[in-house]
Amino acid sequence: MNDLVIRNGHVVVDTGIELAGGWIAVSEGRVSAYGAAGTEPPATRVVDADGRLVTPGLINTHHHIYQNLTRSYAPVVNGTLFEWLTHLYPIWARLDEEDIHLSTAVGLIELAMGGCTTSADHMYVHPRPNLIDAQVAAARELGFRFLPTRGSMTRSIEDGGLPPAVVVQDADAILADSERLIRSYHDPSPGAMIRIGLAPCSPFSVTEDLMRRTAELAEQHDVRLHSHLAEDLDEDAFCAETYGCRPVEYLERVGWATPRSWVAHFIYPSSDEQERLARAGVGVAHCPSSNMLIGGGTAPVMRLRELGMPVGLGCDGSASTDHASLWLETRTALLLGRYRGGPTAMTARDALDVATRGGARCLGWEDEIGHLRVGACADLVVWETSAVALAGAVTDPVEAWLRCAPSTAFHTIINGRFVVEDGQPTAPALEGLLRAHDRRARRLQGVLR
């Protein structure tokens, strides 16, 4: 007896495997079977998808969830990346554990409503201890598959960086806390719900020494490495002045050019640099909405995929993108791909593959997530698009999913458990959570009610 069967859907099992009117069965948090209409096995619970599209859960490979406390912050909505950071760092310097717990809970619920079932997060400001512990607690309470990364900064304004001294730390403290988090929370076993990565913020935020020592620690504990790279032309100038090389050469020099690493943005590499990191197995988190809002260009996704590079999607910061919908990121990636390369450059299935299989490869999790083959983690989404929006779209439900009006999750299932059901989050006391989040956001921004 299976725990759950989702029937009567257009089921995308994996790249190249689709079942019109098909079903998928779940037992003990894993996909146990799938098949064509009329062959459904018995189950404790049977859910009718009513013809809706069913896909693997989407995977978010780059985010700064805490920033949902400063969304659409008016003084910097039209600033450059560096202007934006300079104004917000002093606000983020006031973050505490309650802020992080609330922002993570709200952020993960929002991600689930947009069809995301696994998310990385890049928490790189640490004005107080135990902030990632608060993130882990929120993810566990919600039952969300989560890979928080221990971000870090060592260069304050006094050292030629952007952030105030209160949010930077010395290398020894960063590495000691990184090791503590790995030992406390990292679960390398199959079906893990929590894994830990290490993530010095960017070439202009940390020292070369910390980058090298972080790579050594990641190798020692077999965890992933993450950072921003080639995001802004100012970064090129900083690396040339500080390190005497371009950002990609710097990444290679500090020992990060390995399959253990994935980097966010990767907008400004040369063709040769693209090829070198592709050969090294480094992955890329493509963040289309954030890059467009800040006006900083966009990664050459299809070129990178042609080189064999793992490419996933990222929402990026909730104060630059201002939303956490992986559906919207997937659609935007499709539009940008076609805008860059013409109408044959990218299809909806290409975009879905980036959002699922590509993301899983970036996180080193491709055996278990990003697809719905038998034995995969039971992370899946039943999508809802209005009947009016889909009127006339009768030939290709995957293309219609991204080309027609906005889609949201009707059901989001993680580890076999409903996190969104009938379009609503299953998290208890959501209204109270949102009220508490609003109070903390107003306190941080100085907007009193």
Residue 151's pLDDT is 98
Q: Which residue has the tokens 């889909």?
A: 390
Helix (H, G, I), strand (E, B) or coil at 242: helix
* pTM of the predicted model over 0.75: yes
Residue 319's pLDDT is 75
Buried b (16+ CB within 10 A) or exposed e, 284-315: bbbbbbbbebbebebbbbbbbbebebbbbbbb
What domains can you pick out in the chain, each with its CATH number? 2-56+369-425 (2.30.40.10), 58-362 (3.20.20.140)
Residue 157's pLDDT is 86
Residue 195's pLDDT is 98
d(CA 194, CA 139): 8
Question: What is the residue-level pLDDT of the chain in tens, covering all 449 positions?
Answer: 999 999 999 999 999 999 999 999 999 999 999 999 999 999 999 999 999 999 999 999 999 999 999 999 999 889 887 888 889 999 999 999 999 999 999 999 999 999 999 999 999 999 999 999 999 999 999 999 999 999 999 999 888 778 889 899 999 999 999 999 999 999 999 999 999 999 999 998 999 999 999 999 999 999 999 999 999 888 999 999 999 999 999 999 999 999 999 999 999 999 999 999 999 999 999 999 999 988 878 999 999 999 999 999 999 987 788 999 999 999 999 999 999 999 999 999 999 999 999 999 999 999 999 999 999 999 999 999 999 999 999 999 999 999 998 999 999 999 999 999 999 999 999 999 999 999 999 999 999 76
Residue 64's pLDDT is 97
CA angle 325, 328, 334 (to 5 degrees): 145
Residue 449's pLDDT is 67
User: Beta strand pairing status for 316-317 and 63-64?
Assistant: parallel
